[in-house]
Amino acid sequence: MGIAWRHSPERLIALLRRHGQDPERVDDVGASWTAFCEFLNQPVDGLEPGPDSDADGFVVQWGRYSWHDRLPSLSFTRQFAVDVREHWSETDWYQPEYWQVSLDLVFPDAPALADLDRLNVQDTGFDFSRPGPERDRAIGEAEWELRHYPTLRALWSSTPARSAVTLDRAD
């Protein structure tokens, strides 16, 4: 039995704390990534059924966004397609709800991070492989992407100014 999707932020927060991180004041990106990777391999209940479903995936994103005051930021996000059939009122078609649990890390500006928003990629791309060996391989590919660019390596070794775990509707 997995965790209920609505309670998934609490699970991520507990994992962060287990790794010595305050969810509102992360001070070690590597430790928070380790906690997030553990979170990625935890089963979640209430998602769209089916073995080929894109009901559970993740992405890592970086950049300078207006909602983070244009400061350098890094987000670890798990996205769910939530099965809402029992509450669906439309009779002609059905659409799951998409929700995202994110750990957002916002960093102070620094010269080593100046070109963060000018990299030729701003994320790892969503991966919807199933938890287990397939997901572990996808996590390794995301880590490779994060080590590929000097700016991302500098971001990884920086201490965030603030952080937060959120659950937001994605659609």
- The pLDDT tens digits for 72-94 are 999 999 999 988 766 766 666 66
User: What integer pLDDT is reported at residue 143 of this predicted model?
Assistant: 95
Helix ranges (H only) for the chain are: 8-18, 29-40, 133-148, 150-156
DSSP letter (8 states) at residue 71? -
Helix ranges (H only) for 19-101 are: 29-40
- The pLDDT tens digits for 113-171 are 999 989 889 999 999 998 889 999 999 999 999 999 999 999 999 999 999 999 999 96
Distance, CA of 14 to CA of 129 (rounded, Å): 24
Take residue 45 and report the two structure tokens written for it: 């209940």
User: What integer pLDDT is reported at residue 46 of this predicted model?
Assistant: 87
User: What integer pLDDT is reported at residue 96 of this predicted model?
Assistant: 83
- The pLDDT tens digits for 23-78 are 999 999 999 999 999 999 999 998 888 766 789 999 999 999 999 999 999 999 99
This prediction has a pTM of 0.92
Distance, CA of 87 to CA of 94 (rounded, Å): 11
Hey, how many other C-beta atoms are within 10 angstroms of the C-beta on 20? 12
Mean pLDDT score of the chain, rounded to an integer?
A: 92
**Contact 168/99 with Cβ under 8 angstroms?**
yes
